[in-house]
């Protein structure tokens, strides 16, 4: 069973970790650090994101 409050999509983590790798100039040897940082960033962004709002209800004809 996944804890939805702490679970982040592994594909999103991999993409962010790769961005961090590229930002460092492609220097190898930091893959674990990049992965952990990516997870932390995505979790933090998830908790700071505003709650989704319902679309406005259409008004009836008058």
Q: How many domains does the chain have?
A: 1
C-beta neighbour count of 37 within 10 angstroms: 15
The pTM of the full predicted model, rounded to 2 decimals, is 0.67
Nearest Cα to 19, choosing from 34, 36, 39, 40?
34
Any domain includes 2: no
13 φ, ψ to 5°?
-65, -45
User: In the prediction, which pLDDT does 48 show?
Assistant: 78
Any domain includes 26: yes
Q: What is the domain extent for residue 17?
A: 10-48
Any domain includes 59: no
User: In the prediction, which pLDDT does 24 show?
Assistant: 92
Any domain includes 61: no
In the predicted model, residues of the chain with pLDDT beneath 70 are 1-5, 49-57, 60-62
* CA pair distance 62, 50, nearest whole angstrom: 34
* CA pair distance 13, 49, nearest whole angstrom: 17
User: In the prediction, which pLDDT does 46 show?
Assistant: 82
User: In the prediction, which pLDDT does 21 show?
Assistant: 97
């Amino acid at each position: 069973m996944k804890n939805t409050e702490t679970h982040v999509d592994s594909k999103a983590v991999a993409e962010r970790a790769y961005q961090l790798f590229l930002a460092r100039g492609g220097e190898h040897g930091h893959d674990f650090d990049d992965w952990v940082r990516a997870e932390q960033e995505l979790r933090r962004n998830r908790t700071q994101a505003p709650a989704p709002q319902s679309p406005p209800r259409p008004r009836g004809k008058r």
